[in-house]
Structure 1
Amino acid sequence: MSCTTRSRTQPNLTERLDQDLVDLYVRGNNVSLNNYAGLQSMSGFDNFRGSGNFDGSQNAQVVVVQEQQTSDVILTSYLAQIIQQKLVVLQEIAKRIIIEQICEVETQTIVLEQFSSGLTIFQKDISRTTTKQVGYDKNVASLIGNITNSDGSLSSSDLGFNGTSVGSNTVVPTGSNWNNTQGPDAVQKALSAAQAAANSTSS
């Protein structure tokens, strides 16, 4: 992908950005990012999750009922380091996708924030402060092998799903140390400890 040229539907970027800020303010809670700053890469941005559903929190959740659960959906515990390794792999893949497949820094910024806000919503699920169960969409998760081609390059193909459908095939692993009495306080303390660690190292 070449990023030597940037395609915009409107030439005056400063005026367009100013108007975007006005438009976002006027819309209030129903923020649309379609064609933000006149960028072609932002054309139809809201079509994926819909205006007013930037983080996916408005998606319906349908838990798949399985008569016989297999070992891969039964909750088990591993050393944190093993989990950290896997999550950092996903983190670096996310970085690669953003910087290799998007030229415009504005679009990079917006899609990164959308990715981050989706994880923030999941944190709320874990804290049981939402109405959703703690699970994942098995159909979407199964597409991880389609992110790269056989030669290791990033795939540019349409994965065939829309953001509003995420959660319609939710698997909720069995087993958890959560209880309604101690859980809320335990989660808040853990979150505060993690945030303190993050704040102490961020520049």
Structure 2
Amino acid sequence: MFSIRLASILVLVSAALATPLSAKRQPWDQDLINLYVRDANVSLNNYAGLQSMSGFDNFRGSGNFDGSQNAQVTVIEEQQTVCHTEQIEIIQQKLVVLQEIAKRIITEQICEVETQTIVLEQFSSGLTVFQKDISRTTTKQVGYDKNVAGLVGNLTNSDGSLSTSDLGFNGTSVGSNTVVPSGSNWNNTQGPEAVQKALSAAQAAANATSAS
């Protein structure tokens, strides 16, 4: 294994030295970093010695930080779920509620800024994976785990405080009861370009906001 890794490193170094400067490739040491990241299952268990990070990888497993490695099993429903167009402001309201609940969970139930940062990154990276699903750049169908989504009512207690109960599932099981709503306007001919244009427009709006 060591000899294989050493050979890979030598190949990368040789390629970097042989590449003309006009090619503007990244320094070869960045290639080595990328090689390490691809090959390694980075563990965040007990990160920085923090008790709040104890068992972090038990949820999704090392090497599955964003949940993209989860298996997907679609559910055949007796009555198929069909998407329908709702007023955009209502959609935005619902998503902001989920956003603020996420903020509440992170700030009320995590005290270390390091753990807050890592958990927030895991949360956002999971949504990035879903964006790739919508773009049809993954092998996953565009849907949601109905069992996990059905637990939203268990996030708070009857008095409105945040629940501290175990919700009874593991991160690796997310996707094993996937519902795929029908009715999307996606088609394989125009869909990829349409999604890319929409994503570019949204990113431009976000960049303009952050720059102001």
TM-score normalized by structure 2?
0.81
Who is 1:56 aligned against?
Answer: 67
Q: Which residue number in structure 2 is paired with residue 179 of structure 1? A: 187
Among 39, 44, 58, the alignment partner of 1:33 is 44
The amino acid across from 2:106 in the alignment is I
Offset of residue 26 of structure 1: 9.9
Deviations 1:39-87, CA, capped at 9 Å, x for gaps: 0010010000000000000000000011322xxx211011211100000
* Structure in which a larger fraction of residues adopt helix: 2
Distance across 2 between alignment mates of 1:42 and 1:62: 30
Q: Corresponding residue for 1:47? A: 58
Cα distance in 2 for partners of 1:160, 1:191 equals: 35
State the aligned residue count: 177
Aligned partner letter, 1:42: M
CA–CA distance in structure 1, aligned partners of residues 135 and 119 of structure 2: 25
How big is the shift at 1:27? 6.1
Runs (4+) of structure 1 exceeding 3 A deviation are: 24-27
**Equivalent residue for 2:90?**
82
Q: Which residue of 1 aligns with 2:99?
A: 91
The RMSD of aligned alpha carbons is: 1.5
The verdict on how the C-alpha distance between 1:25 and 1:129 changes in structure 2, with shifts beyond 3 A counting, is: closer
Q: Deviation at 1:174?
A: 1.1
CA distance in 1, matches of 2:172, 2:157: 26
Residue correspondence of structure 1 range 106-185 to structure 2 within 5 A: 106-185=114-193
SS in 1 for 2:151: helix
Whole-Å separation in 1 of the counterparts to 2:94 and 2:147:
19
Identify which of 182, 188, 192 aligns with 2:196. 188
In 1, the alpha carbon distance for the partners of 2:210 and 2:55 equals 34
Q: Which residue number corresponds to residue 68 of structure 1?
A: 79
Extract unaligned runs of 5+ from structure 2. 1-32
Question: Which runs of no fewer than 5 residues in structure 1 stay unpaired?
Answer: 1-23
Tell me which structure has the larger Cα radius of gyration: 2
Determine helix, strand or coil for the equivalent of 1:161. coil
Question: Structure 1 vs Structure 2: percent identity of aligned residues?
Answer: 84
Kindly provide the CA deviation profile for residues 102-147 of structure 1, in whole angstroms up to 9, marking residues without a partner as x.
0000000000000000000000000000000000000000000000
Structure 1 SS opposite 2:66: coil
TM-score by structure 1 length? Answer: 0.84
Distance, in Å, in 2 between the alignment partners of 1:28 and 1:128 is 25
